Every structure is written in C-alpha cells, then in structure tokens.
Structure 1
Amino acid sequence: MGTATETAGSGAGTATTPAARVALVGVHGFGTHHLRNLERLQAAGSVELVAVADPQPPAPGAVPPSAAVYPGLDDLLKATRDLDLVIVATPIQTHAPLALAALATDAELYLEKPPVASLADFNRLCEAAAASGRGVQIGFQSLGSHALKAVEDLLAAGTIGTLQGISATGRWVRDRAYYKRSRWAGKRSINGVDVVDGVATNPLAHAVATALHIAGARTTTDVASVETELYRANDIESDDTSVIRIRTAAGLPITCALTICASESVEPYVTLQGSNGTAVFHYTEDRLTVETAAGRTEETYGRDDLTENLLAHRSRGVPLISSLEDSGAFMLVLEAVRTAPLPTPIDPAYVRWEGEGDAAHAVVAGIEEALDQAGRQHATFSELGLPWAAAAPDASMSVKRVE
C-alpha cells in the first residue's frame, strides 16, 4: 500500500506495557494481510497472536506455533480468555454475527470492510457496541493516511478555493477467476442472507469511504441522499460498473464512478474540485497532487496502522481512526445499493473479453472516458447518453433518501 508507515508513538505497546492478546478470525483472503501485520507487531513486542479461527485450516507455517487454531469463533471464545483484541476478516455475510459475538467479550473489535451487509445489521451492531463500551475499528485502511490531514489543511487555507464537489474514480480489472474464488463472490444474497458484493461496496469500497470522509460525511446524519445506477458486464448478481451519486447534508455533491471492467488496472483516486484548482488523492499510494494557477505539487505521505491505533485506543484512549459510528455514511451507500433494482446487464455488443478461460476479463467499451466524465460532470452513465446505458430498459436511478 504505497509507502505507508506508522507514526512514531502510534503503536499499542511500550517497554512497560504487556503485549496485547489478539485473536484473528479468518486467516485466508484478506486475513493473510492481518497475519503479516500481526507478525510485524508481534516481533515488535506489541501483540501476541494467541488464537485463530477458520473453518479452513491455515497453511502450514502461516500462524505462530503458539497460536491455537479453531474451526470457528465460538470454539475460540470458549477456550480463550482475556483477549484484548478480536480481528474479523471473513466473508461479508458473516460479519454481523461474528462481530456481535466478539462484542460480548471484553475485547476491542477490528472488523473488516464493509462493516455489515445491511443498515439494519449496522444499527444492531452500533447498539451492541454502545452497550459493551468497546472500541470498534472498521478496516478502511486508507483513512489512516496522513495525506488526509494535508487535505484538511489545504481546504482550510483555501488553496484550491471553495470546495464545489468530490469525485471518486476507480477502474480495476477482475477476471472470471475472481468471481469463482468463493461462493459469495459477486452475490447480492445467499439463501436470503444479504451479501452485497458489488464494486462500490467491496473491491472499491475504499474509494467511496475516502470520498465521504474528505467531504465530512461520516455518520448517517451527514448524508442527505444517495442515488445509484448499477450495471454488470459479468454474469453475476451484483454490479461491476456503477455510478453512485451522493449529496451531503451540507449540500456537497460526491460522485463515485467505479468499474472492475477496465482495460487495465489504474490506482484509484479521489478528486477535490475547487473553484481555484483541484487536489487528487491516490489513496492506495498515500499520494496527494494539488494543481492551481500557481503550479502543481505532489507529495507522498505516511500512514497510521489501524490495528495499532485500535490498541492505543484501548490502552490510552487515543481516538479511533475509522470508528464504527463514522462508517454510518458509507452504510447508507451500501443500503442504497442493497435495495436498488437488480444491476442492468450491459449489452454484449459493448463488452469485449480479453484473455482466455478463467483469466479472461470483461472490458466495457469506452469505460475510462465514461468514468472521467461522470466524475467531472457529476452525471450518471444514462445522463451522459452512453449507448449501453441509454438503451438499458431499467437504467433509471434508484434513490435512497435519508431524512
């Protein structure tokens, strides 16, 4: 993730603080990232990984010999006492029950994004977190970037003038194998259980969350409306090419134009559109570019680790970087996607396939320019008059209004 580094003093442990006892739920997929990070923190003496849980056993050597292995969280919690932190990195549809189980202990909770698969589950989780008094960190790692403070400073200084709008642009490539990696990939639901694995809610969720954060839209009260226009080029249930248009309670427009059907993957970015210039934040690289009449500047920043931040919150009351409450605005976007009509299939005449077999990936014709225009003009694909959008019989927007 770029040149991310931790701030001096941001870690959870010190020479006089015992290592935090950690359990990890989910050791495959993104769980492997947590395993590597916990290995780093354990080497530094900040944590001790005491147990992991996964129905599929970890690969040999993937976890420390001292860490007990269980098939599920219930078994882990029955056998393990005095946990300081539980990390949940499992499929989306399992987040709610696992998070609630973790909050019934004395441990803090790190929950991967998206937090849960419905606004109702989010509200239940918020109630449980408030009752427990425990900290809940949501895994939007980009929010730990020090570039966000630089963005705050340049807005306060008026460097790009008055902020008029924000766009988030993401164009990635995902092949057929991506949707075959698990039974929930690309699903809206499984056996009546919400999954909501769409482009804006999972692979490019950081783009949405980062744009909302910069706009000052953190909680559910910070969003006035969400409009969705969802499409799919792949043979899946969920969306892979979409525009999400948000208006904050303060009236600021945020447009997220996202696809995983590009010709090539490009680092996603959030653009701040000012009256006197622009600022572009490439959040996976912690890189901020500012352009005004005075010229162009670019700088790459460090990043605080969310696990260390959560442990510092537990031990010293340090504010959480990505709290559960502050993911409320993102959850309104997820809820709008969840309740929207089924994504419109893109006419195959406008989709080409590159590669062979499971390595083949869909490319929507002209998608790069379409994403750029949508972000600049705060317009949906149908409003831009794109042939595959305008011809879609059910391409009208689904609007979720928040009073």
Structure 2
Amino acid sequence: MKRVALIGASGHGISHRRNLARLARAGRIEIAAFADPRPPEPQPDAPIDATTRIFTDHAEMLREVRPDVVVICTPPHTHLEIATDALESGADVLLEKPPLISTAEHRALSGVVTRTGRALQIGFQALGSAALAELRRAIADGRLGEITAIAAVASWRRPDGYYKRTPWAGRRTVNGRPTLDGAIANPQAHALMQALALAPDPDPVMVELERYRTRPIEVDDTASLRVTFAGGPPVVMAVTLCGEDFIAGEVIVHGTRGRAVLEYPTDRLLLPGDDMPRHVPGRRDLLENLLDDPEHLIVPLSRTAPFTAVLEVVAAAPVPYAIDAALVDPVGTPPDRMNVIRGVNAALRAAADRPGLLSEVGVEWARPPLTAGLQTGGHPVR
C-alpha cells in the first residue's frame, strides 16, 4: 500500500483531503502526512486521523516521512520548487493546475522528471473524462467534418471575499515572484486546457489576448484570447467571473458538418444529430491513475506545454484594462458583493459562436488585443 502525503492541506487542498480519505477508506492508500504553513482544520468528510503527521515545512516532511506519492496543492509560483523537492525525494507527484507559469519552468521541471525517473501528473482532472474521449473519437471519425475552430466559454461570479482569500489572490507577483490568479489562469484554466487538448496541432505560434477587470486587482476577471497554431484550427476562449447567468464551462468544436458542445464540469456532451446534451458517465481519477499506472499518465507534464506557453503570455501582459464602473452592477453587500457586467453573457456567446475575440463582436468596452508570437515549440519570442 502506497503512502501518500499532501502539501497544501487548506483551501482547495481540502478537496484533495476528501479524495485521500476516500482512497484510504477503500484500502488503496495510507495517508502519511500533511504539510501546510497553516494548521489544517478537520472537515466532516475529510477528518485528520491521529496517525497522520502534520508539518509546517514541506522539505522537513519529505525528509522525515519519505512518502511514495505526493499531492501538491500550493500557489502556482511555488510549484517548481516544491515539485522538484518531491520528485528528488523519490516520490511520484500529482501537481495541481496551473502547473507552471513559464516555459523556462516547464523545461526545468521536465528535466527533473527525466533525471529522477519519477512520474508527474498534472491536476487537470477534466482530461480524465469519458465525455472528452467520446468527443475526440467523434472528431477522428469525421462526424463533425473538417474542424474549423475550437472555442471555450464560461460565465461565473466571484465575491469580494474571493480576492482576500490568500496573499496572492488577484495579484501579478508575490515577494517579487510572478503569480497569476485571473480568470484564465486559475478558476477557468480547465476551459483553456480542454480546448487545447482537442487541438490537432500541439504547436501554438501566436496568442492574441484581451484582459479586463472590474475591480482594483492586478489580473483579469474577464478575458478573451485566440491561440493560432502552425497547422490546424485556432482555439478561442471567452470567460468572465462577472457573469449575468451561469455558464458552467463549455468547449465548442466547430466543424463543416456541425458542431459539438462539451460541458466539461458535468461531462454533458452534444454531438451533431443529438436532440439534446447527454451525460457521459465515467471520469478517471488522476491520483488513482498515478497510483495504478504511472507509466501511462492521463496528464503528463508534456501534455500541458501549450497551456504553459499561453500562460506565459498572460503573465507578461500589462495590467488588464479597467471596465467603466457605469457598465457594472454590484450585487449584494461585502464581503459577498459580486460585480456583474451588463450584457457580458451575450458577448461571450457571440465570441464563442463566431468564434473570435470580444473586440471583434461589437463589445463597446473591448480594446484591441495584445499579440505575442511564439517560437517553434510554443516558447514566446524574445
């Protein structure tokens, strides 16, 4: 039985604690230790067993416990250091998304994986979906005809308190190190990764980026982007955290014979000829995949290279454009107050349907995109 440790046991780490508790109850793993600067609080469905050791320093935990597998759920700007330490300690690793924030970090961590011979899985859990696999088969079988574009759209809301949850919330840098907490990089990163995973060409050559904000933050709460590839259709993304109506998250594949829509958080899929979306059951847990078959990972680090290339462009972009407050309706009272951009859902839908950028579908507050070329292999042009 493998001994599993969790680094980052608070906040989103609680969801990993629940999964570890499930696997421990099934006799699949032993929970060896938690490491977190803050004392992790017990949760009803994620209790802390008396035998689980608690550390405030991850390096000390790795030295003393020597776990077989480490789950890392810490801020993105800490991922390279902590994942390197875990791999070099001899552990296999499940690393939360977004994995890294530059292609230099991606190359560095790839070198650690090669040198240590350990397995590294990235936590884009929606890539383990049977619905995504069925959509890929439908594309390969020609059911959609020639693919002309892939779009991702999502409309969520986030309250004032969301931007006070951690020292890096809403920030570009922390202690001089780059970090990202915008709609693209964090809550709706799955939308971008799902769309990139469906692109037939893994080699992006250009990113066009529009980022907007309704708050005094340093990152985007609304954005659109287009990724162009050396060959194959573009990927477009249009998302917000200031939505009117909730769109859980959809990936839309446009083809000459019709289009397909995958609602990736729920695994609901609509293919050409279907009357309505249907739930496609089956999602492989990424930690179980890492435990059972570390040589055949669902999301190895290499699969996320295009995502990291796009994210590096986001990280280097200026502070997002501030949308006129007259176009934004506050809903509720602090700390639960949320901003809603009037007409944003129609704009997002128009961008996904075109598909194109917000500045290309008649949005009055949109601005021309920042354009960044990428070298072969997805590295930004310097």
User: What's the CA shift for 1:209?
Assistant: 0.3
CA contact 1:253–1:378 (8 Å) conserved in 2: no
d(CA) in 1 for partners of 2:348 and 2:253? 15
The residue aligned with 1:115 is: 99
The residue aligned with 2:379 is: none
Q: Does 1:302 align with 2:282?
A: yes
User: What's the CA shift for 1:299?
Assistant: 3.5
d(CA) in 2 for partners of 1:216 and 1:44? 38
Aligned alpha-carbon RMSD (Å): 1.5
The residue aligned with 1:349 is: 326
User: What's the CA shift for 1:295?
Assistant: 4.8
The residue aligned with 1:8 is: none
After TM superposition, list the pairs within 5 Å mapping 1:60-209 onto structure 2: 60=42, 62-81=47-66, 83-209=67-193
Amino acid of the residue matched to residue 21 of structure 2? E
d(CA) in 1 for partners of 2:63 and 2:31? 17
d(CA) in 2 for partners of 1:210 and 1:48? 32
CA contact 1:226–1:332 (8 Å) conserved in 2: no
The residue aligned with 2:366 is: 389
d(CA) in 2 for partners of 1:60 and 1:371? 40
Q: 1:104 to 1:295 in 2, by over 3 A?
A: same
d(CA) in 2 for partners of 1:359 and 1:257? 24
Structure 2 residue corresponding to 1:235, chosen from 196, 216, 219: 216
Provide the secondary structure at the position in 1 that maps to 2:237: strand
C-alpha distance after superposition, 1:226-268 (max 9, x if no partner): 1111111122000110011012232311100011010243211
d(CA) in 2 for partners of 1:297 and 1:46? 35
Provide the secondary structure at the position in 2 that maps to 1:252: coil
Provide the secondary structure at the position in 2 that maps to 1:32: helix
C-alpha distance after superposition, 1:61-119 (max 9, x if no partner): 632211110001111012113x2101100112211111111111111011000002222
The residue aligned with 2:380 is: none
Provide the secondary structure at the position in 2 that maps to 1:353: strand
After TM superposition, list the pairs within 5 Å mapping 1:288-327 onto structure 2: 288-292=269-273, 295-296=275-276, 298-314=278-294, 317=295, 319-327=296-304
d(CA) in 2 for partners of 1:299 and 1:41? 25
Structure 1 residue ranges without an equivalent (≥5): 1-18
C-alpha distance after superposition, 1:168-227 (max 9, x if no partner): 001100010100111101111113201021111101000000001111355xxx222211
C-alpha distance after superposition, 1:98-150 (max 9, x if no partner): 11111111110110000022222122111111111111100000000011221
User: What's the CA shift for 1:399?
Assistant: 1.9
Structure 2 residue ranges without an equivalent (≥5): 377-382
Q: 1:396 to 1:226 in 2, by over 3 A?
A: closer
d(CA) in 2 for partners of 1:103 and 1:60? 28
Q: Does 1:278 align with 2:259?
A: yes
The residue aligned with 2:315 is: 338
Q: Does 1:39 align with 2:21?
A: yes
Amino acid of the residue matched to residue 300 of structure 1? V
Segments of 4+ moved more than 4 angstroms: 294-297
Q: Does 1:249 align with 2:233?
A: no
How many residue pairs match? The answer is 373
C-alpha distance after superposition, 1:334-393 (max 9, x if no partner): 011011122111111211111111111111121001111111223222222321114xxx
User: What's the CA shift for 1:297?
Assistant: 5.6
